Amino acid sequence: MPESNTSMDKIVSLAKRRGFVFQSSEIYGGQAGAWDYGPMGVELKNRIARFWWKEMTQLHDDIVGLDASILMHPKVWEASGHVENFTDPLVDCKKCKQRFRADQIDPDKLARKECPECGGELTDTRKFNLMFKTNIGPVDDGSGLIYLRPETAQGIYVNFRNIVQSNRMKIPFGIAQIGKAFRNEIVTKNFIFRTCEFEQMEMQYFVKPGEDEKYFEYWRGQRWAYYEKLGIHMDKLRWHRHGPDELAHYAKDAYDIEYEFPMGFKELEGVHNRTNFDLTRHQQFSGKDLQYIDQDNGNERYIPFIIETSAGLTRQLLMVLCDAYEEQKVADKGNDDDFRTVLHIHPIIAPVTVAVLPLMKKDGLAELAHSIRNELKEDYSTDYDQSGAIGRRYRRQDEIGTPYCVTIDYQTKEDGTVTVRDRDSMAQDRVQASALPEYLRAKIKSYKRA
């Protein structure tokens, strides 16, 4: 086994083997662009979401939350520009029938209309709208056309007035939201990187025109610091500023935070200066006054500018797996046991925080382990495993990224102490079982990735 080399195949294999991510509808041959999150995956996803939510709302006094519906009035998407502009350029190969995004083909081949796979002839480039359409109501004649939202952001804009009024928000302030989004992506490779159904964690920060550039820089700093806090390898992150031809139709300025995935540097999240485009358009299309009235400044009225931070939750989960994955040589005996696969996930988001392992099932050790686990359950996500050699059990926990393993042995019966094994260093501490909640709390708080 090679020492620590992350490839996407290894991540996909571990994700399936240990219950993080499964192919959707696998028993029917799978559904492209859709994935299911297994017992470990849903725990990890929920914890990432909770971490983001806390960072954005609890730690920022001026940000409130929202959970808007996926189905929205179709005019929303006309106003937002998605009906007209949310398109990818698409070409098909007449010979092998494969479909490609024209902007991802070598420009010389595209100019010659040559298929990058089989050399066959490509069709002309046509625009393909990424929004999924469906129908609401009993009659399917087009009158009930409705879209599955391609971003969560619009749910925030159309609630801007409600939230200013109901919560007496004063500019600058933000609204955060986590939820599903859908895009009819043409190319859905690289596992869960680009999918048709995914989740976003978006925050829209409303500011006075003229203060947008200052807050744009502020939010760039905040989002960079978020990944530092999560213990990500910061040398695998970089900024990419959008050039004029990359900017979305609503953006004045935009930066992506890119992560070095196994397939290279790719977008992880975006920070966008959306100007007053969105609220201006919704005001036009809805006929409702969406100006902010600044009561502290002589009732000055204006349409706020918006700074958006837009992260993919499912893409962030993939990043966390890639960043945490390590195949590590731990001994030199010349056999398979010399290696372990370990996920160095930050304890704050690890699917299982602490595993409780009795050295033996007999002599009352299992009962003791159960009672210790019950004590920890209230505060931590726990696992219990009594089968197999202790070394094997540690390896199983390493593979799902459990930061701490508590082992109950014969000494526990005598003096009430247990061993706590640290996932990253594999060092063991002997501590009083009754002191475990406090001990773990201190370890998690001071955690630093080696």
Would you tell me which residues interact with ligand GAP (CB under 6 A)? 151, 153, 183, 185, 194-195, 198, 200, 202, 267-270, 308, 310-312, 314-315
Report the distance separating Cα 86 and Cα 79, nearest Å.
Answer: 12
Residue 418 pairs in a beta bridge with 431
Report the C-alpha gap between 196 and 178 in whole angstroms. Answer: 17
Tokens of residue 442, six digits: 């201190």
- Complex with ligand GAP: residue 153 or 365, whichever CB lies closer: 153
Give the shortest CB-311-to-ligand GAP separation in angstroms: 6
Angle between helices 365-377 and 436-445 (to 10 degrees): 60
Nearer to ligand GAP, 172 or 270 (CB): 270
Closest approach of ligand GAP to the CB of residue 82, in Å: 10
**If we measure between CA atoms, which residue out of 178, 187, 138, 234 comes closest to residue 47?**
178
Cβ nearer to ligand GAP, comparing 197 with 424? 197
Q: Are 389 and 379 in contact (CB under 8 A)?
A: no
Q: Which residues pair with 406 in a beta bridge?
A: 356, 420
CB of 198 to ligand GAP, least distance (A): 4
Question: How many angstroms separate the CA atoms of 391 and 397, rounded?
Answer: 10
Q: What is the nearest approach in angstroms of ligand GAP to the Cβ of residue 319?
A: 9
Cβ nearer to ligand GAP, comparing 177 with 341: 177
Residue placing its CB nearer to ligand GAP in the complex, 190 or 417: 190
- What number of residues does the chain have? 450
CB 62, min distance to ligand GAP, A: 20
Beta bridge partners of 308: 204, 272
Residue showing the smallest CB distance to ligand GAP in the complex: 312
CB-based contacts of 99, cutoff 8 Å, min separation 6: 90, 91, 92, 93, 186
Q: What minimum distance in Å lies between the beta carbon of 247 and ligand GAP?
A: 11
- Closest to ligand GAP by CB, 246 vs 289, is 246
